[in-house]
Each structure stands twice: as structure tokens, then as C-alpha cells.
Amino acid sequence: MKVCLIVEGAYPYIRGGVSSWMQNLMVRMPDVEFVIETIVARPEEKREFKYEIPSNVSEIRETYLLDDDVIHGRRQRKRKLSKREYEAFESLLFGVDPDWKTIIQFFEERNVSLNSFLIGEDFLKMVQTYYMEHFERMIFSDFLWTMRSMYLPLFTILKSQRVECDLYHSVSNGYAGLWATAQKLFYKKPFLMTEHGIYTREREEEIIKANWVRGVYKDLWIDQFKKIGRCGYTYADKVVSLFEEARQFQIELGCPREKTIVIPNGVHAKRFEGIPQKEEGDDWIHVGAVLRVTPIKDVKTLISSYMLAKQQEPKLKLWIMGNMDEDPEYAKECKNMVENLKI
């Protein structure tokens, strides 16, 4: 059996919970052949593997959200969209339930330059219509470039190379789920999704805090990720979460209830049998947080919360344990925050 694991921004280049889970899964299934489809921002000459790749991994493929070869491509003779294609792209821009089958088929059949498509007459006409209905008080050129920047990575994913496998297993929603959907529709093979966190909610939180998105455009980006998320939920055969509350979030975000299943992460209890116990006379209340020190984990809020809690209970002691290499600047800010708060 040949299984394609699809991951965005993690294995094998970044350590963390998802990457470790993937490593354990592959090591414990030695009779299964795995292909890794890892989605990263753009091509780089050197990427360092953070894991020893298991022998049953036959291929590691990279797909880029921003890929000049795909974006520019070979120029085609200009050809207008068919009525069905035009309506499908309109549903993507204007609606909440896009015609994904037609959109995916368009990029499978057309050797189109994304750069040409995004500056083409059809796309411009759609954007103008949307602008006049909802954003006419904004500067049109800003709105147009925002729309192009939103759809460029999405279309790049849909134009990326395919790989045939017996099963597609996306370890998150979002662009990974979108890529898996395209493979499922093309090869008619099953698609399983496992969400370790709720992708759509994580992206929403990032966008709300982001400085690179102007306030008025934040809702556009959030709606975009909700559409992409619903696509993955719609076409996945089964959608797995780690706990019941996460499952309920998936249902709220558009996942059919009958597809959802909860599989909690297990713990090898014997590995922790010999851990040191509290020493006699240790009156501290120890609180531990095992996580990557990155913005998505919101460590600064954890530190602030600890400061407030310690004012109520002086015997509290917080231990933050995890990788600080992924975002050194953020890790440094967290260390400085601890020093400045004198906690």
C-alpha cells in the first residue's frame, strides 16, 4: 500500500507535535510505503532534515505556495473562460460554497500561466464586480492586489504536480487539504484528514494579530481560509480530531458530522515511570507547558497569565519546555518579557 502524507510547514524540516506524530506513524507501519508531500512557502537551496527519514519513505516532494515556475509558466494564447468556468470562479470569489470540481478541473486541463490569469480580463472583471458591491470606498488598486495575493497560493497549489497513491492522508486542513482534494478527484482514491489543531481557527487568529493585513482586508483573508477549510471537509472521507471540543469546532466550520471521529493521542506510560517526584519540602506548585516557543502557541499570553496567577498564589512556578529554534526572535522576546516582569 502506498500512502501520501500531506503536511504544511512542518515535517521533515521543523520539529513539533505534528512532525513527531508523522515520524512515529511511519516507523510503526514498516510494511506501508509512504510519500511525503510537504508544502512550504517557496523554493530554497538548503533545507535541513530534523528527523531521520524512515526506510519505508520512498519520496519526499515539495510543493511551493509561491513558485515562479508555476506562477509564470509557459505563455498560452489568450482564451476566455467558458460560461461554466466563469461561474465557478465567481462562486470562489463571491460565494461560500465554491464549485471546486470545476476549478480543480480547470487547472488540470489548462496549461495556464497564473500570472497571465491573474492579470487577465476575466479575473479583473470578477474583481471589479465584487469591488463595486462591497468595497467601492477603498482604493481599487489596493483591493485588486490584495485579491491577487490571496488567490496566487491557492491556484499555485492546484497547478502543482500530482502523485498517484492508494490513500491521501492530510495531517491538517487548509492548503494540505486542498491539495489532497485535487488528488482525490483526479485519481478517485480515498482521502483521510487528521487535524491536530483547527487550521481555520489558527489562521484566523494569525490574521487578526498580523500587521501585514490592513484591517479592512482581514475579513477577506479569514473568509478565504474558511472556504479552503470547507473544501477539505467536503471531500475528505473521514476527518479525525484529537478531542471532542475540536470535533465540534470542525462541525461548526462546515464538516459533515457523520465524517468526524475523535482519536486521542496516546501516551506510553512506561516511558514516564521513572521520572523524578517532588522532593520532600518542595512547597512549589509546578505548572508545565511543553510546546514550541512560537507565536501560534501564544507563549506571551501564557507568561502574562502566569504573572497574574502568581499574584494570587506566590508558590506557583511555571516551566516552559520546548523548541526555541523555530522563531528565535519570538523566543528572545519571551525571555525578555520574563526578565522585565521579574517572574
- Apex 141 CA angle, 136 and 144, nearest 5: 80
Task: Give which of 100, 102, 98, 54 is closest to 82, Cα–Cα.
Answer: 102
192 with 170: CB under 8 angstroms?
yes
189 with 166: CB under 8 angstroms?
yes
Q: Is the pLDDT of residue 72 over 80?
A: no
Where is average pLDDT lowest: 66-70, 146-150, 303-307, 333-337? Answer: 66-70
Rounded average pLDDT over 220-243: 97
236 with 191: CB under 8 angstroms?
yes
- To the nearest whole percent, how much of the chain has pLDDT over 90? 76
Where is average pLDDT lowest: 67-71, 198-202, 270-274, 281-285? Answer: 67-71
* CA atoms of 35 and 164, how far apart (whole Å): 10
H-run or E-run covering 216? helix 215-235
Query: Residue 215's pLDDT is what?
Result: 83
CATH class of segment(s) 2-67+160-262? alpha beta
Q: Is the pLDDT of residue 76 over 60?
A: no
Task: Give which of 100, 125, 244 is closest to 179, Cα–Cα.
Answer: 100
User: Which set of grid coordinates corresponds to residue 334?
Assistant: 519571551
Query: Residue 77's pLDDT is what?
Result: 56
* CA atoms of 103 and 84, how far apart (whole Å): 10
Q: Is the pLDDT of residue 73 over 60?
A: no
- pLDDT tens for 168-203 read 999 999 999 999 999 999 999 999 999 999 999 999
Query: Residue 208's pLDDT is what?
Result: 92
User: Which set of grid coordinates corresponds to residue 319?
Assistant: 516551566
Rounded average pLDDT over 102-126: 92
Query: Residue 285's pLDDT is what?
Result: 96
252 with 283: CB under 8 angstroms?
no
Task: Give which of 36, 6, 180, 189 is closest to 100, Cα–Cα.
Answer: 180
- Tell me the helices (H) and strands (E) count for the chain, helix number first: 13, 9
Query: Residue 182's pLDDT is what?
Result: 98
**pTM for the complete prediction?**
0.87
What is the phi/psi pair of residue 60, to 5°? -120, 115
Domains of the chain, residue spans:
2-67+160-262, 75-152, 272-341
Query: Residue 216's pLDDT is what?
Result: 84
Where is average pLDDT lowest: 41-45, 80-84, 101-105? Answer: 41-45
Query: Residue 47's pLDDT is what?
Result: 85
Q: Is the pLDDT of residue 331 over 70?
A: yes
